[in-house]
Amino acid sequence: MLSAHTSDQVRTAEAALMAKLPHGTLMDRAATGLAVTCAALLGGVYGSRVVLLVGSGDNGGDALFAGARLAARGARVEAVLAGIRVHEAGLAALRRAGGRVLDIRAAQDGWRERARALLGAADLVMDGLLGIGGTGAPREPYSTLAGLTREASGRAAGDGPLVVAVDVPSGVDATTGRVEGEAVEADVTVTFGTYKPGLLVSPGARHAGRVEFVDIGLGPYTPEPEVTALTGADVAALLPRPDATSDKYRRGVVGVAAGSHGYTGAAVLAVGGAVRSGAGMVRYAGVAEPVAQVRARWPEAVITELKPGQGIGEVGRVQAWVLGPGLGTGPESLEVVRAVLASEVPVLVDADALTLVAQDRSLLRRTAPVLVTPHAGELSRLLGVPRERIEADPLDHVRRAVAELGVTVLLKGSTTLVARDGLPVRVNLTGSPWLATAGTGDVLAGIAGTLLAAGLDPYDAASCAAHLHGLAGADGPLSAWDVLEAVQGVLRSLLEPGFRSR
Protein backbone atom coordinates (compact mmCIF):
# COMPACT_ATOMS: atom_id res chain seq x y z
CA MET A 1 0.00 0.00 0.00
CA LEU A 2 1.25 3.46 -0.87
CA SER A 3 1.06 6.08 1.87
CA ALA A 4 0.91 9.83 1.35
CA HIS A 5 1.56 12.44 4.02
CA THR A 6 0.78 16.12 4.33
CA SER A 7 3.41 18.85 4.26
CA ASP A 8 3.23 19.28 8.04
CA GLN A 9 3.63 15.54 8.60
CA VAL A 10 6.64 15.43 6.28
CA ARG A 11 8.36 18.38 7.95
CA THR A 12 7.88 16.82 11.39
CA ALA A 13 9.30 13.50 10.19
CA GLU A 14 12.25 15.19 8.51
CA ALA A 15 13.08 17.13 11.68
CA ALA A 16 13.04 13.93 13.74
CA LEU A 17 15.31 12.13 11.28
CA MET A 18 17.71 15.05 10.75
CA ALA A 19 18.29 15.24 14.51
CA LYS A 20 19.92 11.81 14.26
CA LEU A 21 21.99 12.33 11.12
CA PRO A 22 25.00 14.47 10.14
CA HIS A 23 24.08 17.83 8.65
CA GLY A 24 23.21 17.63 4.98
CA THR A 25 22.60 13.88 4.85
CA LEU A 26 18.96 14.09 3.83
CA MET A 27 19.65 16.57 1.04
CA ASP A 28 22.51 14.40 -0.19
CA ARG A 29 20.21 11.36 -0.33
CA ALA A 30 17.52 13.33 -2.15
CA ALA A 31 19.93 14.89 -4.63
CA THR A 32 21.53 11.53 -5.38
CA GLY A 33 18.18 9.91 -6.12
CA LEU A 34 17.16 12.91 -8.23
CA ALA A 35 20.36 12.82 -10.25
CA VAL A 36 20.09 9.07 -10.86
CA THR A 37 16.53 9.46 -12.15
CA CYS A 38 17.47 12.36 -14.43
CA ALA A 39 20.47 10.46 -15.80
CA ALA A 40 18.25 7.50 -16.66
CA LEU A 41 15.77 9.80 -18.40
CA LEU A 42 18.52 11.47 -20.43
CA GLY A 43 20.02 8.16 -21.52
CA GLY A 44 23.38 9.73 -22.22
CA VAL A 45 24.39 12.40 -19.71
CA TYR A 46 27.58 13.58 -21.45
CA GLY A 47 26.87 16.54 -23.70
CA SER A 48 23.23 16.88 -22.64
CA ARG A 49 21.76 20.29 -21.81
CA VAL A 50 20.16 20.61 -18.37
CA VAL A 51 18.46 23.69 -16.95
CA LEU A 52 17.81 24.01 -13.21
CA LEU A 53 15.00 26.29 -12.00
CA VAL A 54 16.16 27.16 -8.49
CA GLY A 55 14.02 28.68 -5.76
CA SER A 56 14.81 29.70 -2.19
CA GLY A 57 13.94 26.47 -0.40
CA ASP A 58 15.46 23.05 0.04
CA ASN A 59 14.06 21.95 -3.31
CA GLY A 60 16.36 24.49 -4.91
CA GLY A 61 19.25 22.97 -2.96
CA ASP A 62 18.28 19.48 -4.11
CA ALA A 63 18.27 20.69 -7.72
CA LEU A 64 21.69 22.37 -7.38
CA PHE A 65 23.37 19.31 -5.87
CA ALA A 66 21.73 17.01 -8.44
CA GLY A 67 22.80 19.39 -11.20
CA ALA A 68 26.38 19.28 -9.86
CA ARG A 69 26.37 15.49 -10.16
CA LEU A 70 25.15 15.68 -13.76
CA ALA A 71 27.71 18.39 -14.61
CA ALA A 72 30.48 16.19 -13.21
CA ARG A 73 29.41 13.53 -15.73
CA GLY A 74 29.68 15.94 -18.65
CA ALA A 75 26.26 17.55 -18.84
CA ARG A 76 26.05 21.23 -19.71
CA VAL A 77 24.13 22.55 -16.70
CA GLU A 78 22.80 26.06 -16.23
CA ALA A 79 20.95 27.17 -13.10
CA VAL A 80 18.35 29.93 -13.21
CA LEU A 81 18.38 31.48 -9.74
CA ALA A 82 14.91 32.85 -9.01
CA GLY A 83 14.53 32.97 -5.21
CA ILE A 84 15.40 35.72 -2.80
CA ARG A 85 17.90 33.28 -1.28
CA VAL A 86 19.97 30.45 -2.68
CA HIS A 87 21.42 27.31 -1.11
CA GLU A 88 25.04 28.47 -1.02
CA ALA A 89 26.62 25.02 -0.60
CA GLY A 90 24.60 23.66 -3.50
CA LEU A 91 25.51 26.63 -5.69
CA ALA A 92 29.20 26.22 -4.85
CA ALA A 93 29.02 22.51 -5.71
CA LEU A 94 27.45 23.30 -9.08
CA ARG A 95 30.10 25.88 -9.93
CA ARG A 96 32.93 23.51 -8.93
CA ALA A 97 31.50 20.92 -11.31
CA GLY A 98 31.45 23.42 -14.17
CA GLY A 99 27.83 24.49 -14.04
CA ARG A 100 26.83 27.98 -15.11
CA VAL A 101 24.39 30.44 -13.53
CA LEU A 102 21.75 32.88 -14.73
CA ASP A 103 20.87 35.03 -11.71
CA ILE A 104 17.55 36.75 -12.42
CA ARG A 105 17.00 37.89 -8.84
CA ALA A 106 18.39 41.36 -9.47
CA ALA A 107 17.87 41.48 -13.24
CA GLN A 108 15.70 44.28 -14.53
CA ASP A 109 15.26 43.52 -18.21
CA GLY A 110 15.92 40.73 -20.63
CA TRP A 111 15.89 37.78 -18.24
CA ARG A 112 12.67 36.35 -19.68
CA GLU A 113 14.19 36.12 -23.14
CA ARG A 114 17.36 34.55 -21.79
CA ALA A 115 15.39 32.05 -19.70
CA ARG A 116 13.16 31.23 -22.69
CA ALA A 117 16.21 30.56 -24.83
CA LEU A 118 17.79 28.31 -22.20
CA LEU A 119 14.60 26.32 -21.69
CA GLY A 120 14.00 25.97 -25.42
CA ALA A 121 17.48 24.50 -25.96
CA ALA A 122 17.40 22.15 -22.97
CA ASP A 123 17.13 18.37 -23.04
CA LEU A 124 15.90 18.32 -19.45
CA VAL A 125 14.49 20.96 -17.10
CA MET A 126 14.63 20.38 -13.36
CA ASP A 127 11.93 22.27 -11.45
CA GLY A 128 13.20 23.23 -7.99
CA LEU A 129 11.28 26.48 -7.62
CA LEU A 130 8.78 25.64 -4.90
CA GLY A 131 8.61 22.80 -2.40
CA ILE A 132 5.98 21.10 -0.29
CA GLY A 133 5.29 24.30 1.62
CA GLY A 134 4.08 26.16 -1.46
CA THR A 135 0.39 27.10 -1.38
CA GLY A 136 -1.76 29.33 -3.54
CA ALA A 137 -0.75 30.83 -6.87
CA PRO A 138 3.04 31.16 -7.37
CA ARG A 139 4.41 34.70 -7.21
CA GLU A 140 6.78 36.20 -9.73
CA PRO A 141 9.20 35.28 -11.11
CA TYR A 142 8.12 31.69 -10.35
CA SER A 143 4.84 32.07 -12.21
CA THR A 144 6.55 33.29 -15.38
CA LEU A 145 9.17 30.53 -15.22
CA ALA A 146 6.47 27.88 -14.83
CA GLY A 147 4.70 29.27 -17.89
CA LEU A 148 7.92 29.41 -19.91
CA THR A 149 8.64 25.79 -18.95
CA ARG A 150 5.24 24.69 -20.21
CA GLU A 151 5.79 26.67 -23.41
CA ALA A 152 9.20 25.09 -23.99
CA SER A 153 8.16 21.53 -23.19
CA GLY A 154 5.80 21.44 -26.17
CA ARG A 155 3.82 18.59 -24.60
CA ALA A 156 1.08 18.73 -27.20
CA ALA A 157 3.61 18.54 -30.04
CA GLY A 158 5.67 15.81 -28.37
CA ASP A 159 8.94 17.75 -28.53
CA GLY A 160 10.85 19.99 -26.16
CA PRO A 161 12.74 19.11 -22.99
CA LEU A 162 11.74 16.55 -20.40
CA VAL A 163 10.48 18.30 -17.27
CA VAL A 164 11.36 16.77 -13.91
CA ALA A 165 9.78 18.21 -10.76
CA VAL A 166 11.72 18.09 -7.50
CA ASP A 167 9.43 16.53 -4.84
CA VAL A 168 6.31 18.34 -6.14
CA PRO A 169 5.63 20.45 -9.27
CA SER A 170 5.81 24.16 -8.46
CA GLY A 171 2.29 25.56 -8.21
CA VAL A 172 0.77 22.31 -6.93
CA ASP A 173 -0.33 22.22 -3.29
CA ALA A 174 1.43 19.11 -1.96
CA THR A 175 -1.22 18.45 0.69
CA THR A 176 -4.43 19.02 -1.27
CA GLY A 177 -3.55 18.84 -4.95
CA ARG A 178 -5.02 22.29 -5.54
CA VAL A 179 -3.68 24.35 -8.44
CA GLU A 180 -4.61 28.00 -8.08
CA GLY A 181 -2.46 29.67 -10.71
CA GLU A 182 0.37 28.88 -13.07
CA ALA A 183 1.96 25.49 -12.36
CA VAL A 184 4.74 23.39 -13.81
CA GLU A 185 3.55 20.43 -15.87
CA ALA A 186 6.09 17.69 -15.23
CA ASP A 187 6.76 14.53 -17.18
CA VAL A 188 8.23 12.97 -14.04
CA THR A 189 8.08 14.01 -10.39
CA VAL A 190 10.81 12.66 -8.12
CA THR A 191 9.39 12.68 -4.60
CA PHE A 192 11.33 12.03 -1.41
CA GLY A 193 10.61 10.07 1.74
CA THR A 194 6.89 9.55 1.25
CA TYR A 195 4.25 10.29 -1.35
CA LYS A 196 2.36 13.57 -1.06
CA PRO A 197 -1.43 13.66 -1.50
CA GLY A 198 -1.18 16.39 -4.12
CA LEU A 199 0.79 14.07 -6.41
CA LEU A 200 -1.97 11.46 -6.36
CA VAL A 201 -5.11 13.62 -6.38
CA SER A 202 -6.31 15.80 -9.25
CA PRO A 203 -5.77 18.46 -10.34
CA GLY A 204 -2.24 18.15 -8.93
CA ALA A 205 -1.84 14.60 -10.23
CA ARG A 206 -2.31 15.85 -13.78
CA HIS A 207 0.75 18.10 -13.31
CA ALA A 208 2.92 15.45 -11.67
CA GLY A 209 3.30 13.05 -14.58
CA ARG A 210 4.91 9.77 -13.56
CA VAL A 211 5.87 9.78 -9.88
CA GLU A 212 9.23 8.26 -8.95
CA PHE A 213 9.82 7.60 -5.24
CA VAL A 214 13.20 8.04 -3.55
CA ASP A 215 13.56 6.54 -0.08
CA ILE A 216 15.54 8.88 2.19
CA GLY A 217 14.78 7.04 5.44
CA LEU A 218 11.63 8.85 6.64
CA GLY A 219 9.56 5.69 7.02
CA PRO A 220 9.99 5.08 10.79
CA TYR A 221 9.25 8.74 11.54
CA THR A 222 6.04 9.21 9.53
CA PRO A 223 2.66 9.05 11.32
CA GLU A 224 -0.49 7.37 10.05
CA PRO A 225 -1.12 8.67 6.53
CA GLU A 226 -4.11 10.78 5.59
CA VAL A 227 -4.16 9.38 2.04
CA THR A 228 -3.33 5.89 0.79
CA ALA A 229 -3.50 3.91 -2.44
CA LEU A 230 -3.99 0.17 -2.86
CA THR A 231 -1.54 -1.80 -4.99
CA GLY A 232 -2.50 -4.83 -7.04
CA ALA A 233 -1.21 -7.07 -4.26
CA ASP A 234 -3.42 -5.28 -1.73
CA VAL A 235 -6.49 -5.77 -3.91
CA ALA A 236 -5.65 -9.43 -4.56
CA ALA A 237 -5.46 -10.01 -0.80
CA LEU A 238 -8.90 -8.44 -0.26
CA LEU A 239 -10.79 -10.12 -3.10
CA PRO A 240 -13.15 -12.89 -1.99
CA ARG A 241 -12.32 -16.37 -3.27
CA PRO A 242 -14.72 -19.33 -3.40
CA ASP A 243 -13.73 -22.51 -1.61
CA ALA A 244 -15.01 -26.08 -1.47
CA THR A 245 -17.96 -25.07 0.70
CA SER A 246 -19.11 -22.23 -1.58
CA ASP A 247 -22.48 -22.14 -3.29
CA LYS A 248 -24.19 -19.30 -5.13
CA TYR A 249 -25.73 -17.93 -1.94
CA ARG A 250 -22.49 -17.98 0.04
CA ARG A 251 -20.71 -16.22 -2.82
CA GLY A 252 -23.20 -13.36 -2.67
CA VAL A 253 -26.55 -12.46 -4.19
CA VAL A 254 -26.67 -8.98 -5.73
CA GLY A 255 -29.90 -7.11 -6.28
CA VAL A 256 -29.89 -4.59 -9.12
CA ALA A 257 -32.59 -1.93 -9.36
CA ALA A 258 -31.71 0.00 -12.50
CA GLY A 259 -32.91 0.99 -15.94
CA SER A 260 -36.09 2.63 -17.17
CA HIS A 261 -38.12 3.07 -20.34
CA GLY A 262 -35.59 5.58 -21.62
CA TYR A 263 -32.39 4.01 -20.29
CA THR A 264 -32.40 0.27 -20.87
CA GLY A 265 -28.65 0.00 -21.44
CA ALA A 266 -27.78 1.06 -17.90
CA ALA A 267 -29.56 -2.00 -16.53
CA VAL A 268 -27.75 -4.32 -18.97
CA LEU A 269 -24.36 -2.87 -18.04
CA ALA A 270 -24.93 -2.84 -14.27
CA VAL A 271 -26.16 -6.44 -14.29
CA GLY A 272 -23.24 -7.36 -16.54
CA GLY A 273 -20.76 -5.76 -14.16
CA ALA A 274 -22.15 -7.92 -11.35
CA VAL A 275 -22.20 -11.12 -13.42
CA ARG A 276 -18.72 -10.67 -14.86
CA SER A 277 -17.14 -9.83 -11.50
CA GLY A 278 -18.18 -13.14 -9.94
CA ALA A 279 -21.54 -12.71 -8.22
CA GLY A 280 -23.07 -15.96 -7.01
CA MET A 281 -26.44 -14.75 -8.29
CA VAL A 282 -27.85 -11.52 -9.70
CA ARG A 283 -31.48 -10.60 -9.09
CA TYR A 284 -32.66 -7.84 -11.40
CA ALA A 285 -35.74 -5.71 -10.76
CA GLY A 286 -37.02 -3.24 -13.34
CA VAL A 287 -39.79 -2.19 -15.69
CA ALA A 288 -40.72 -3.97 -18.91
CA GLU A 289 -38.30 -2.46 -21.43
CA PRO A 290 -35.05 -3.02 -19.52
CA VAL A 291 -36.35 -6.38 -18.29
CA ALA A 292 -36.53 -7.54 -21.90
CA GLN A 293 -33.00 -6.34 -22.61
CA VAL A 294 -31.51 -7.88 -19.47
CA ARG A 295 -33.29 -11.18 -20.09
CA ALA A 296 -31.95 -11.33 -23.65
CA ARG A 297 -28.36 -10.58 -22.68
CA TRP A 298 -28.01 -12.15 -19.23
CA PRO A 299 -30.13 -15.32 -19.02
CA GLU A 300 -28.40 -16.24 -15.75
CA ALA A 301 -29.99 -13.26 -13.98
CA VAL A 302 -33.17 -13.86 -11.97
CA ILE A 303 -35.60 -11.20 -13.13
CA THR A 304 -38.58 -9.50 -11.52
CA GLU A 305 -40.65 -7.10 -13.60
CA LEU A 306 -41.85 -4.25 -11.41
CA LYS A 307 -45.36 -2.89 -11.91
CA PRO A 308 -46.32 0.70 -11.00
CA GLY A 309 -46.54 1.04 -7.25
CA GLN A 310 -44.96 -2.36 -6.67
CA GLY A 311 -42.14 -2.56 -4.14
CA ILE A 312 -39.24 -4.98 -4.08
CA GLY A 313 -40.84 -7.55 -1.80
CA GLU A 314 -41.19 -10.06 -4.65
CA VAL A 315 -37.54 -9.87 -5.70
CA GLY A 316 -36.26 -12.36 -3.13
CA ARG A 317 -33.39 -12.27 -0.68
CA VAL A 318 -30.25 -10.37 -1.62
CA GLN A 319 -27.08 -9.55 0.29
CA ALA A 320 -26.55 -6.13 -1.29
CA TRP A 321 -28.32 -3.77 -3.68
CA VAL A 322 -27.09 -1.71 -6.64
CA LEU A 323 -29.55 1.15 -6.94
CA GLY A 324 -29.92 3.85 -9.53
CA PRO A 325 -28.16 3.46 -12.92
CA GLY A 326 -30.63 4.71 -15.56
CA LEU A 327 -33.49 4.42 -13.06
CA GLY A 328 -35.10 7.76 -13.87
CA THR A 329 -36.13 10.43 -11.39
CA GLY A 330 -39.94 10.30 -11.52
CA PRO A 331 -42.37 9.31 -8.74
CA GLU A 332 -42.22 5.59 -9.56
CA SER A 333 -38.43 5.66 -9.40
CA LEU A 334 -38.60 7.41 -6.04
CA GLU A 335 -40.82 4.58 -4.74
CA VAL A 336 -38.15 2.06 -5.74
CA VAL A 337 -35.42 4.14 -4.09
CA ARG A 338 -37.39 4.35 -0.85
CA ALA A 339 -38.10 0.62 -0.87
CA VAL A 340 -34.49 -0.41 -1.47
CA LEU A 341 -33.12 1.98 1.15
CA ALA A 342 -35.68 0.66 3.64
CA SER A 343 -34.08 -2.80 3.35
CA GLU A 344 -31.56 -4.09 5.88
CA VAL A 345 -28.66 -4.93 3.56
CA PRO A 346 -25.84 -2.76 2.15
CA VAL A 347 -26.91 -0.48 -0.70
CA LEU A 348 -24.82 1.15 -3.40
CA VAL A 349 -26.51 4.39 -4.50
CA ASP A 350 -25.58 5.62 -7.97
CA ALA A 351 -26.68 7.89 -10.81
CA ASP A 352 -30.42 8.74 -10.81
CA ALA A 353 -30.82 7.46 -7.26
CA LEU A 354 -28.27 10.07 -6.18
CA THR A 355 -30.38 12.78 -7.78
CA LEU A 356 -33.39 11.57 -5.83
CA VAL A 357 -31.66 11.29 -2.46
CA ALA A 358 -30.17 14.77 -3.00
CA GLN A 359 -33.74 16.02 -2.68
CA ASP A 360 -34.18 14.15 0.62
CA ARG A 361 -30.88 13.25 2.25
CA SER A 362 -32.72 11.65 5.18
CA LEU A 363 -33.16 8.60 2.92
CA LEU A 364 -29.49 7.84 3.57
CA ARG A 365 -30.00 7.60 7.32
CA ARG A 366 -30.20 3.86 7.84
CA THR A 367 -28.54 1.28 10.05
CA ALA A 368 -27.21 -0.85 7.19
CA PRO A 369 -24.15 0.38 5.23
CA VAL A 370 -24.47 2.81 2.32
CA LEU A 371 -21.97 3.42 -0.46
CA VAL A 372 -22.62 6.41 -2.72
CA THR A 373 -20.76 6.68 -6.04
CA PRO A 374 -21.17 10.23 -7.40
CA HIS A 375 -19.21 12.14 -9.97
CA ALA A 376 -18.53 15.81 -9.24
CA GLY A 377 -21.87 16.98 -10.64
CA GLU A 378 -23.84 14.53 -8.52
CA LEU A 379 -21.82 15.38 -5.42
CA SER A 380 -22.54 19.03 -6.16
CA ARG A 381 -26.25 18.32 -5.83
CA LEU A 382 -25.76 16.27 -2.67
CA LEU A 383 -23.70 18.95 -0.93
CA GLY A 384 -25.12 22.10 -2.49
CA VAL A 385 -21.63 23.13 -3.64
CA PRO A 386 -20.68 24.31 -7.15
CA ARG A 387 -19.17 21.56 -9.26
CA GLU A 388 -16.12 23.71 -10.01
CA ARG A 389 -15.21 23.88 -6.33
CA ILE A 390 -15.39 20.10 -6.02
CA GLU A 391 -13.18 19.59 -9.07
CA ALA A 392 -10.66 22.13 -7.74
CA ASP A 393 -10.33 20.32 -4.38
CA PRO A 394 -11.91 16.85 -4.51
CA LEU A 395 -10.00 15.66 -1.44
CA ASP A 396 -11.62 18.25 0.80
CA HIS A 397 -15.09 17.66 -0.61
CA VAL A 398 -15.04 13.88 -0.40
CA ARG A 399 -14.19 14.23 3.28
CA ARG A 400 -16.98 16.76 3.69
CA ALA A 401 -19.43 14.37 2.01
CA VAL A 402 -18.54 11.60 4.46
CA ALA A 403 -19.01 13.92 7.42
CA GLU A 404 -22.33 15.37 6.22
CA LEU A 405 -23.94 12.24 4.79
CA GLY A 406 -22.63 9.61 7.19
CA VAL A 407 -21.88 7.16 4.36
CA THR A 408 -18.91 5.76 2.45
CA VAL A 409 -18.19 7.80 -0.68
CA LEU A 410 -16.59 6.80 -3.97
CA LEU A 411 -16.04 10.05 -5.85
CA LYS A 412 -15.51 9.41 -9.55
CA GLY A 413 -13.28 11.67 -11.59
CA SER A 414 -9.88 11.95 -13.22
CA THR A 415 -8.67 10.44 -9.96
CA THR A 416 -11.19 8.32 -8.08
CA LEU A 417 -11.33 8.76 -4.30
CA VAL A 418 -12.84 6.47 -1.66
CA ALA A 419 -13.54 7.91 1.77
CA ARG A 420 -14.97 6.63 5.03
CA ASP A 421 -15.15 8.26 8.45
CA GLY A 422 -12.01 7.75 10.53
CA LEU A 423 -9.91 6.15 7.77
CA PRO A 424 -7.43 7.53 5.21
CA VAL A 425 -8.87 8.62 1.89
CA ARG A 426 -7.92 6.03 -0.72
CA VAL A 427 -6.84 7.15 -4.17
CA ASN A 428 -7.27 4.77 -7.07
CA LEU A 429 -4.16 4.67 -9.26
CA THR A 430 -5.51 2.54 -12.13
CA GLY A 431 -7.52 3.62 -15.14
CA SER A 432 -7.12 6.12 -17.95
CA PRO A 433 -9.02 9.04 -19.51
CA TRP A 434 -10.59 6.53 -21.92
CA LEU A 435 -12.94 5.53 -19.09
CA ALA A 436 -14.71 8.88 -19.44
CA THR A 437 -17.38 7.42 -21.69
CA ALA A 438 -21.06 6.64 -21.25
CA GLY A 439 -21.93 3.49 -19.33
CA THR A 440 -18.63 2.75 -17.65
CA GLY A 441 -20.02 3.97 -14.32
CA ASP A 442 -22.84 1.42 -14.59
CA VAL A 443 -20.24 -1.35 -14.96
CA LEU A 444 -18.38 -0.02 -11.92
CA ALA A 445 -21.60 -0.08 -9.88
CA GLY A 446 -22.16 -3.74 -10.75
CA ILE A 447 -18.59 -4.68 -9.77
CA ALA A 448 -18.82 -2.88 -6.44
CA GLY A 449 -22.24 -4.42 -5.76
CA THR A 450 -20.80 -7.91 -6.22
CA LEU A 451 -18.04 -7.20 -3.71
CA LEU A 452 -20.55 -5.78 -1.21
CA ALA A 453 -22.71 -8.89 -1.56
CA ALA A 454 -19.64 -11.09 -1.08
CA GLY A 455 -19.06 -9.52 2.33
CA LEU A 456 -16.55 -6.72 1.83
CA ASP A 457 -17.33 -3.56 3.73
CA PRO A 458 -18.14 -0.52 1.53
CA TYR A 459 -14.67 1.02 1.95
CA ASP A 460 -12.88 -2.09 0.67
CA ALA A 461 -15.56 -2.95 -1.89
CA ALA A 462 -15.38 0.50 -3.43
CA SER A 463 -11.57 0.56 -3.42
CA CYS A 464 -11.24 -2.87 -5.02
CA ALA A 465 -13.98 -2.17 -7.57
CA ALA A 466 -12.31 1.07 -8.66
CA HIS A 467 -8.98 -0.74 -9.03
CA LEU A 468 -10.48 -3.55 -11.13
CA HIS A 469 -12.54 -1.13 -13.21
CA GLY A 470 -9.45 0.98 -13.90
CA LEU A 471 -7.42 -2.03 -15.03
CA ALA A 472 -10.27 -3.12 -17.30
CA GLY A 473 -10.34 0.33 -18.87
CA ALA A 474 -6.63 1.02 -19.09
CA ASP A 475 -6.37 0.86 -22.90
CA GLY A 476 -8.49 2.76 -25.37
CA PRO A 477 -10.39 3.82 -27.31
CA LEU A 478 -13.07 1.76 -25.62
CA SER A 479 -16.76 1.49 -24.88
CA ALA A 480 -18.48 0.47 -21.67
CA TRP A 481 -18.96 -2.97 -23.19
CA ASP A 482 -15.20 -3.26 -23.74
CA VAL A 483 -14.67 -2.58 -20.05
CA LEU A 484 -17.29 -5.17 -19.17
CA GLU A 485 -15.62 -7.82 -21.32
CA ALA A 486 -12.21 -7.12 -19.78
CA VAL A 487 -13.32 -7.52 -16.15
CA GLN A 488 -13.02 -11.32 -15.97
CA GLY A 489 -9.48 -11.29 -17.35
CA VAL A 490 -8.43 -8.64 -14.84
CA LEU A 491 -9.91 -10.68 -11.99
CA ARG A 492 -8.16 -13.84 -13.14
CA SER A 493 -4.81 -12.06 -13.29
CA LEU A 494 -5.18 -10.93 -9.67
CA LEU A 495 -6.62 -14.16 -8.32
CA GLU A 496 -4.28 -16.58 -10.08
CA PRO A 497 -1.28 -16.24 -7.72
CA GLY A 498 -3.57 -17.00 -4.76
CA PHE A 499 -4.89 -20.13 -6.44
CA ARG A 500 -1.37 -21.29 -7.34
CA SER A 501 -0.18 -20.86 -3.78
CA ARG A 502 -2.63 -23.41 -2.38
- Residue 416 annotated as lining a ligand binding site: yes
Tell me: cis bond preceding 290? Omega within 30 of 0 counts: no
- Residue 442 annotated as lining a ligand binding site: yes
Whole-angstrom Cα distance, residue 217 to residue 343?
Answer: 50
Tell me: cis bond preceding 497? Omega within 30 of 0 counts: no
Q: Give the type of residue at 444.
A: L
- Residue 217 annotated as lining a ligand binding site: no
- Residue 413 annotated as lining a ligand binding site: yes
- Residue 99 annotated as lining a ligand binding site: no
Cβ–Cβ under 8 Å, residues 56 and 86: yes
- Residue 58 annotated as lining a ligand binding site: yes
Strands 281-286 and 302-305: parallel
Q: Which of 452, 250, 437 is nearest to 349 (CA)?
A: 452
- Residue 469 annotated as lining a ligand binding site: no
- Residue 61 annotated as lining a ligand binding site: yes
Q: Which of 277, 233, 235, 286 is nearest to 252 (CA)?
A: 277
- Residue 158 annotated as lining a ligand binding site: no
Whole-angstrom Cα distance, residue 408 to residue 43?
Answer: 46
Whole-angstrom Cα distance, residue 90 to residue 395?
Answer: 36
Q: Which helix (H) or strand (E) holds 28?
A: helix 25-42
For 424-456, b where at least 16 C-beta lie within 10 A, e where not — what string? bbbbbbbbeebbebebbbbbbbbbbbbbbbbeb
- Residue 167 annotated as lining a ligand binding site: yes
CA 258-262-263 angle, to 5 degrees, is: 40
- Residue 28 annotated as lining a ligand binding site: no
- Residue 19 annotated as lining a ligand binding site: no
**Residue 307: Cβ within 10 Å count:** 10
- Residue 60 annotated as lining a ligand binding site: yes
Whole-angstrom Cα distance, residue 183 to residue 170?
Answer: 6
Cβ–Cβ under 8 Å, residues 291 and 284: yes
- Residue 479 annotated as lining a ligand binding site: no
Side-by-side strand order, sheet with 76-81? 100-103, 76-81, 49-54, 124-128, 162-166, 188-192, 210-214
- Residue 377 annotated as lining a ligand binding site: no
- Residue 414 annotated as lining a ligand binding site: yes
Query: CA torsion 263→369→431→489, rounded to 10°?
Result: -80
Alpha helices in 55-203 (DSSP H): 58-72, 88-96, 111-121, 142-153, 197-200
- Residue 142 annotated as lining a ligand binding site: yes
- Residue 132 annotated as lining a ligand binding site: yes
Sign of CA dihedral 301, 302, 307, 310: negative
- Residue 265 annotated as lining a ligand binding site: no
- Residue 255 annotated as lining a ligand binding site: no
- Residue 198 annotated as lining a ligand binding site: no
- Residue 131 annotated as lining a ligand binding site: yes
- Residue 135 annotated as lining a ligand binding site: yes
How many residues in total does the chain contain? Answer: 502
Side-by-side strand order, sheet with 425-427? 2-4, 227-229, 425-427, 417-419, 408-411, 370-372, 347-349, 320-323, 253-257, 281-286, 302-305
Q: Is 133 helix (H, G, I), strand (E, B) or coil?
A: coil
Residues making up the binding site: 58-62, 127, 131-137, 142, 167, 170, 266, 326, 375, 412-416, 441-442
Residues making up the binding site for AMP: 412-416, 441
Residues making up the binding site for (6S)-NADPHX: 58-62, 131-137, 142, 167, 266, 326, 375, 442
Residues making up the binding site for K(+): 59, 127, 170
